[in-house]
């Protein structure tokens, strides 16, 4: 028997519908009330499915947030992988790296950024290995390699991303009163020092 298209991709049609309804309901609730105030019970209720369906599909609240975060990060991923320079291809690696870090800082310090709001609710141990987290690290490592940095690109990328962690940014912004422009300048200095540019 030939599988139907959804089954061919490993997901039954009803499961795909439930997933879409859950993500849509979660996105609406997050937009209305903020990610920190949304519970799995409310999401399941708004989607018209049982809580068990949500847990089967996403595992837990973190799994649901990670799925939402992946959707929210798609536009940014497109911008830095194939959008216009200097964030996208076409500019020198150092300029792209500077633009990437500054864009991350802008998103983290923007209270309206959905991807950042969702990521704040995901525990650190799940945020780093998430698809967006791995993609950020790979992108920085690739630009370091392209810039001719003679070092362990993978580890330097991890080290640079520590500066853009929510925990670091929140401490610098809230406790040290560091302005976004100073954060941008510091990132640009870091890129210059690492790349020798």
pLDDT tens, position by position, 132-185: 999 999 999 999 999 999 999 999 999 999 999 999 999 999 999 999 999 999
Per-residue pLDDT, 1 = 35
Per-residue pLDDT, 11 = 59
3-state SS, the chain, equals CCCCHHHHCCCCHHHHHHHHHHHHHHHHHHHHHCHHHCCHHHHHHHHCCCHHHHHHHHCCHHHHHHHHHHHHHHHHHHHHHHCCCCCCECECHHHHHHHHHHHHHHHHCCCCCHHHHHHHCCCHHHHCCCHHHHHHHHHHHHHHHHCCCCCCHHHHHHHHHHHCCHHHHHHHHHHCCCCHHHHHHHHHHHHHHHHCC
Range among 10-14, 39-43, 67-71, 119-123 with highest mean pLDDT value: 39-43
The CATH number of domain 1-59 is 1.10.10.60: yes
ω into 86 cis (within 30 of 0): yes
Region 76-85 average pLDDT: 96
The full set of domain ranges for the chain reads 1-59, 69-195
- 91 beta partners: 89
Per-residue pLDDT, 125 = 87
């Amino acid at each position: 028997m030939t599988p139907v298209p959804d089954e061919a991709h490993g997901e039954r049609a009803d499961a795909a519908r439930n997933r879409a309804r859950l993500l849509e309901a979660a996105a609406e609730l997050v937009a209305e009330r903020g990610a920190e105030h949304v519970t799995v019970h409310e999401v399941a209720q708004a989607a018209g499915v049982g809580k068990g369906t949500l847990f089967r599909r996403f595992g837990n609240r973190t799994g649901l947030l990670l799925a939402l975060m992946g959707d929210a990060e798609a536009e940014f991923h497109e911008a830095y992988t194939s959008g216009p320079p200097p964030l996208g291809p076409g500019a020198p690696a150092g300029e792209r790296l500077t633009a990437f870090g500054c864009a991350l800082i802008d998103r983290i310090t923007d209270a309206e950024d959905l991807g950042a709001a969702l990521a704040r609710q995901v525990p650190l141990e799940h945020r780093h290995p998430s698809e967006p987290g791995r993609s950020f690290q790979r992108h920085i490592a690739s630009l370091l390699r392209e810039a001719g940095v003679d070092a362990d690109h993978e580890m330097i990328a991890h080290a640079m991303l520590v500066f853009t962690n929510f925990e670091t940014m929140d401490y610098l912004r809230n406790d040290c009163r560091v302005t976004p422009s100073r954060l941008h300048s510091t990132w640009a200095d870091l890129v210059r020092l690492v790349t020798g540019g």
